[in-house]
Amino acid sequence: MGSVNPLVLLSEILEQRGEAIAEGLFQSVTLGFGQFCTCPGLVLAVEGPVLDRFTQALRTRFQAGEPGAMLTPSIVRSYRPAAERIAGFAGISANHNPNFTSRDGIPVLFETTDQTFLGHEDLRHEVFGPATVLVRCESSQRLINLAKHLEGSLTATVHGTPRDLEENRPLVALLTRKAGRLVFNGFPTGVEVCASMQHGGPYPATTDPRFTSVGSTAIERFARPVTFQDCPPELLPPELQAL
């Protein structure tokens, strides 16, 4: 279970809360050192001065990011080559702590354009670890076009003011079809064990989007409905017999 969990940043909210969103995004990507299955591995936004300011704030955080231990040596052995491969693509820039020498993982912010992103299939797949790809789209229409190419995810997140969201209704509707949980003005890492939790999503995030692995309805993944029609009471399972 895992996915890229796209996060979309709309223009007016970036103007109002860019610095706070940069901090929240960095904390979300690095929570558990990027080993949450809902880690936001893809960030989409439209080019412009507002995005430039936000990006600089985000770069600063990743450039100061400290290396840390991952769960197992095999995860590190998978994470580092995957990050190095992405950094080697033409049209990709990588931001991380330049003093990194540890064999542990390190937070990395990749930056690219929508055209480059669509040209590299590898960028559409999860890199399990504290890395995310910021895609700068030339226009809102190109952002929607990119979103159409995304595979299923556990989560999709939209940051926007009421006006942002009203002006981007088609985008929100599209993301609803791409994810099991749609997050507004927050961050997707972490789940709550409650009746409303949907921790699943369209393939390939999970094999069956009808179920959740967290929450009170998660038992439906393991239960098979059976009806006992006109069954003698003594033959019913003990749980169904009258007291």
User: In this structure, how many other beta carbons lie within 10 angstroms of the beta carbon of residue 199?
Assistant: 22
pLDDT for residue 243:
60
- In terms of DSSP H, where are the helices of 88-196? 114-118, 140-148, 162-167, 169-178
- Tens digit of each residue's pLDDT (9 = 90 or more) over 184-231: 999 999 888 888 888 888 877 888 878 788 888 888 888 888 898 999
pTM listed for this prediction: 0.88
Q: Classify the C-alpha dihedral 140-113-40-202 as positive or negative.
A: positive
- Tens digit of each residue's pLDDT (9 = 90 or more) over 144-153: 999 999 999 9
**Could you tell me the domains of the chain?**
6-184 (3.40.309.10)
Residues in the chain: 243
Task: Provide the 3-class DSSP secondary structure of residue 181.
Answer: strand
Is the Cβ–Cβ distance between 93 and 100 less than 8 Å? no
- Tens digit of each residue's pLDDT (9 = 90 or more) over 132-180: 999 999 999 999 999 999 999 999 999 999 999 999 999 999 999 999 9
| H-run or E-run covering 95 | strand 93-95
pLDDT at 128 over 80: yes
**Neighbour-count burial for 38-75, b at 16+ CB within 10 Å, e otherwise:** bbbbbbbbbeeebbeebbebbbebbeebebeebeeeeb
Nearest to 153 by CA among 209, 108, 196: 209
Report d(CA 33, CA 27) in Å as an integer: 9
For the ranges 3-12, 90-99, 199-208, the lowest mean pLDDT is seen at: 199-208
pLDDT at 84 over 80: yes
pLDDT band at 121 (very low <50, low <70, confident <90, very high): confident
Strand partners of residue 68? 105
| H-run or E-run covering 158 | strand 153-159
Strands, sheet with 131-137, edge to edge from the N-terminal-most edge strand: 93-95, 108-113, 131-137, 42-46, 6-9, 153-159, 179-184
pLDDT at 1 over 70: no
